[in-house]
Amino acid sequence: MNTRSTILAAAVYVATVLTVSACGATVSEPSRSSGASTATVTNCHAPLTVPGTPTRAMTNDTGITEMMFALGLQARMVGYTTYDSKKIDIDSSPWRSDFGSVRSLGTAFTREVVQHADPDFVFAGWNYGFKESTGVTPDWIRSIGATPYQLTEACRQPGTTRRGIERPLDALYDDLTNLGTIFGVRARATTLVQTYRAEVARAAASAPTKDGRARVLVFDSADPAPFTAGHNAAPDEIISQAGGDNVFADLDDSWTSVSWEAAARDDPQVIVIVDYPTGPSNTVQSKIDTLRAQPLMSQTTAVRQGNIVAFPYAALVESPRNPATITALAQYLRSKGF
């Protein structure tokens, strides 16, 4: 198999589909004024009240920022932060021009950066910016007079730091719907959700129901243990709707580390690589080389047969790219006989 061609084809397909679906994303509609009555939504299974319509929203990470762009909320944003490794996300994004027109606040989501931006609404998630180790938490956001909104895919389970409280696509749809309510663009949010549901249904219609489904492993990185996606991360449902079975579907967590023994145990037939290069040691090719060199992984069907496909990071975390990624992965699996 020409691995590079497969990787590029997947990336190009996702970008093409999303470019079409993103058309009109900046079309505005009547919305509440900043002085209007409050909006209350449910976020991480708790009520969240937002006083008026935010006019200085700040986001962290590419997938989260793209949700704002998909809803046409660029003018309501004071800026976004991301990371150096996410350049490929921005370059491949259907909303690339929006990343260029909205202010970049750099690659550090710190208290200093947030305070300097003076936001009234901060959209991030646990391990997507919110961390006790940096002091940037939802409680701290409230202490500076802004409203924190948590990425639903990364909501913490009660009494634990494990993440994920509902199915990943439901998390995406809930966040889009909530943002539509908060920012007064409910019609746009409803249209997006309907469009995404329809695309997912079309992709799932070609998937095998039981027999013939591929066993799929998500490989993010290895430092030194493999980092992968559990039941509550976006790839689990991306894989399921595309017609495969995530080998870590029984892991009640989002993104997390596992052992090489566990990764190889069920003999994955396809491996999905998360593409976010942070240097020569973290490119897609270097990740493939790692899999080939690892004694247990080298014997798996996926590595032996070269059934390896890569997608940009923003396509595999909760984001408006998820439905197109399902379509692209479904086509890849069908091409491999699954």
Among residues of the chain, what percentage have pLDDT more than 90?
83
User: pLDDT grade, residue 10 (50/70/90)?
Assistant: low
Output the pLDDT for position 3: 45
Over range 324-333, report the average pLDDT.
98
Residue type, 231: H
Within 13 Å and on the Cβ side, how many CA atoms surround 238? Answer: 30
Output the pLDDT for position 259: 98
Q: Is the pLDDT of residue 291 over 60?
A: yes
Q: Which of residues 83 and 216 earns the better pLDDT score?
A: 216
pLDDT digits (tens, 9 = 90+) for 25-38: 333 333 334 555 79
pLDDT digits (tens, 9 = 90+) for 55-110: 999 999 999 999 999 999 999 999 999 988 888 999 999 999 999 999 999 999 99
Q: Within a 10 A sphere around the Cβ of 2, how many other Cβ atoms?
A: 9
CA-CA distance, 126 to 268, in Å (whole number)?
Answer: 29
Q: Is the pLDDT of residue 143 over 70?
A: yes
Average pLDDT over the chain, rounded to an integer: 91
CA-CA distance, 264 to 301, in Å (whole number)?
Answer: 10
Output the pLDDT for position 280: 79
Of the candidates 90, 87, 43, which has an alpha carbon nearest to the alpha carbon of residue 66? 90
Q: Residue length, the chain?
A: 338
Over range 231-259, report the average pLDDT.
97
Q: Is the pLDDT of residue 139 over 80?
A: yes
Helix runs in the chain, H state only: 3-22, 62-70, 87-92, 96-101, 111-117, 138-143, 168-183, 186-205, 234-242, 260-265, 284-293, 301-305, 313-316, 322-335
Over range 311-320, report the average pLDDT.
98
Q: Is the pLDDT of residue 54 over 70?
A: yes
Q: Is the pLDDT of residue 21 over 70?
A: no
- 28: exposed, middle or buried (Cβ count in 10 Å: 0-12, 13-18, 19+): exposed
Output the pLDDT for position 210: 79
User: pLDDT grade, residue 113 (50/70/90)?
Assistant: very high
Over range 280-304, report the average pLDDT.
95
CA-CA distance, 76 to 28, in Å (whole number)?
Answer: 11
Residue-range domains of the chain with CATH: 3-13+208-335 (3.40.50.1980), 21-199 (3.40.50.1980)
pTM: 0.90
